[in-house]
């Protein structure tokens, strides 16, 4: 099954006025493909993921289209939406200690998903829960099912979250920065696990992260977000080798690479990300851009398509 997102917009109504968190995002995820959503904190990545699954608070106004096999998720009635989440689209949240229920055992939390989305009886659900723990690399599953989230390490909690998300064998997994706050060894294990499960189950994967190294290691395509918009998208190898947007280039320059290992200094991005309650007239990255031109200040660049690449940057020719 494929996912197509068209002109997705999310506006939060706050006491201080509207906040344009997502502003016209277009995405596509083919069956079995891995798409990375990358950008600084506050660029709209997690909000985009939650909007796809309709998991935003009541003060959010969502528009556009989220097509799952030509069915618009944003127009689904509540009963169809409940069947979709978990059964067809699984979700791994950013912080497992905030997403897992601290007063319920891991086994019960897996069982809840299985009871809601499968026809298995009690014995069958327990067998499936043990199978899931083994699948995500949690040993001694029989004992672990009776333990609570605080009895798991950070990496184990993240694996338990993945097990819950995979309980009903979804066709698409939305992973919101699943390796945040984990040490590099556990991070590598989680990423390898996700890729292995993706290959074994044939599911699509949308991976939200701020780490370009994670994208290079795991993703086939990447969408770079800034100020609620996708500013560049395309195959990972192509985008990283020849960025077509000034922000993508700036992100790459700020990352360690061959030059950094030789002792060269990293190049930080100056300034701060823009406030989303004050939409810019022109390009949102212009105040921090080192190659901007006059048009960047007054006119928002439109998305251009060149083969399998998409980008929105007036200064693209000078990068």
What is the tens place of the pLDDT at every residue in 162-180?
999 989 889 999 999 888 7
Same domain, 175 and 258: yes
Same domain, 165 and 243: no
List residues bridging with 204 in a β-sheet. 172
Q: Please report where in the chains the tokens 């990255």 appear, as a residue.
A: 285
pLDDT value of position 262 = 53
Same domain, 164 and 298: no
> Which domain covers residue 131, as residue numbers?
101-169
CA dihedral 156, 31, 209, 278 (to 10 degrees): -140
Q: Does residue 19 register a pLDDT over 90?
A: yes
Terminal Cα-to-Cα distance of the chain (whole angstroms): 37
What's the sign of the alpha-carbon dihedral 162, 58, 82, 42?
Answer: negative
Same domain, 208 and 293: yes
Contact call for residues 89 and 172 (beta carbons, < 8 A): yes
Task: State the greatest distance between any 2 C-alpha atoms of the chain, in Å, as a whole number.
Answer: 67
What's the sign of the alpha-carbon dihedral 49, 51, 55, 61?
Answer: positive
Same domain, 160 and 182: no
Same domain, 261 and 131: no
DSSP per-residue letters across 43-61:
SSHHHHHHHHTT---TTEE
Q: Does residue 263 register a pLDDT over 70?
A: no
In a domain, 248, yes or no: yes
In a domain, 94, yes or no: no
Give the residue-averaged pLDDT of 241-257: 90
In a domain, 223, yes or no: yes
Q: Does residue 108 register a pLDDT over 50?
A: yes
Q: How far apart are CA 303 and CA 179, in angstroms?
A: 31
Q: Does residue 260 register a pLDDT over 50?
A: no
Contact call for residues 194 and 219 (beta carbons, < 8 A): no
Give the residue-averaged pLDDT of 299-312: 94
Q: Please report where in the chains the tokens 């993921």 appear, as a residue.
A: 49
Same domain, 215 and 120: no
Same domain, 140 and 183: no
CB atoms within 10 A of CB 214: 21
Same domain, 273 and 174: yes
CA dihedral 47, 50, 52, 53 (to 10 degrees): -170
- For the sheet containing 17-29, what is the strand order? 17-29, 3-14, 60-68, 71-72
CA angle 226, 228, 234 (to 5 degrees): 60
Q: Does residue 98 register a pLDDT over 90?
A: no
CB atoms within 10 A of CB 246: 28
Non-local CB neighbours of 129 within 8 Å, separated by 6+ positions: 107, 110, 111, 114, 141, 145, 163, 167
pLDDT value of position 197 = 85
> Binning pLDDT at 50, 70 and 90, where does residue 70 land?
confident
Q: How far apart are CA 279 and CA 255, in angstroms?
A: 28
Backbone angles phi, psi at 201, to 5 degrees: -95, -10
Q: How far apart are CA 96 and CA 85, in angstroms?
A: 18
Non-local CB neighbours of 310 within 8 Å, separated by 6+ positions: 26, 230, 232, 233, 234, 303, 304
Q: Please report where in the chains the tokens 């074994």 appear, as a residue.
A: 200
CATH number at residue 194: 3.40.50.300
Same domain, 54 and 177: yes
pLDDT value of position 1 = 67
In a domain, 307, yes or no: yes
**pLDDT tens sequence across 192-213:** 888 988 888 889 999 999 889 8
Q: How far apart are CA 57 and CA 69, in angstroms?
A: 25
Q: What is the pTM of this model?
A: 0.92
Last residue of a domain, one of 154, 169, 184: 169
Helix (H, G, I), strand (E, B) or coil at 11: strand
Number of structural domains (the chain) is 2
Backbone angles phi, psi at 64, to 5 degrees: 105, -155
In a domain, 75, yes or no: yes
pLDDT value of position 259 = 42
In a domain, 95, yes or no: no
> Binning pLDDT at 50, 70 and 90, where does residue 17 land?
very high
Q: Rg (Cα) of the chain, in Å, rounded? A: 20
């Amino acid at each position: 099954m494929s996912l197509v997102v068209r002109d997705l917009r999310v506006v939060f109504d706050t006491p201080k006025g509207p906040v344009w968190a997502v502003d016209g995002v277009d995405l596509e995820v083919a069956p079995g493909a891995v798409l990375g959503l990358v950008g600084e904190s506050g660029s709209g990545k997690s909000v985009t993921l939650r909007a796809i699954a309709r998991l935003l608070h009541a003060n959010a106004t969502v528009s556009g289209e989220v097509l799952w096999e030509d069915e618009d998720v944003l127009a689904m009635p509540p009963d169809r939406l409940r069947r979709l989440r978990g059964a067809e689209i699984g979700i791994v949240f950013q912080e497992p200690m905030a997403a897992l229920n601290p007063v319920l055992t891991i086994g019960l939390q897996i069982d809840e998903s299985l009871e809601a989305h499968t026809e298995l009886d009690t014995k069958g659900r327990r067998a499936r829960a043990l199978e899931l723990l083994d699948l995500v690399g949690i040993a001694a599953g029989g004992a672990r099912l009776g333990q609570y989230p605080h009895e798991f390490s950070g990496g184990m909690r993240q694996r338990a979250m993945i097990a819950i998300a995979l309980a009903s064998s979804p066709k698409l997994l939305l992973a919101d920065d699943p390796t945040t706050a984990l040490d590099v060894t556990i991070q590598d294990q989680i990423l390898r696990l996700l890729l292995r499960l993706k290959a074994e189950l044939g599911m699509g994967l949308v991976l939200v992260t701020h780490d370009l190294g994670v994208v290079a290691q795991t993703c086939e395509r990447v969408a770079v977000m800034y100020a609620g918009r996708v500013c560049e998208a395309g195959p990972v190898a192509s985008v990283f080798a020849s960025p077509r947007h000034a922000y993508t280039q700036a992100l790459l320059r700020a990352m360690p690479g061959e030059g950094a290992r030789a002792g060269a200094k990293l190049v930080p991005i100056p300034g701060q990300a823009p406030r989303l309650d004050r939409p810019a007239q022109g390009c949102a990255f212009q105040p921090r851009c080192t190659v901007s031109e006059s048009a960047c200040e007054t006119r928002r660049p439109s998305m251009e398509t060149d083969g399998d690449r998409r980008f929105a940057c007036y200064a693209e020719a000078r990068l």
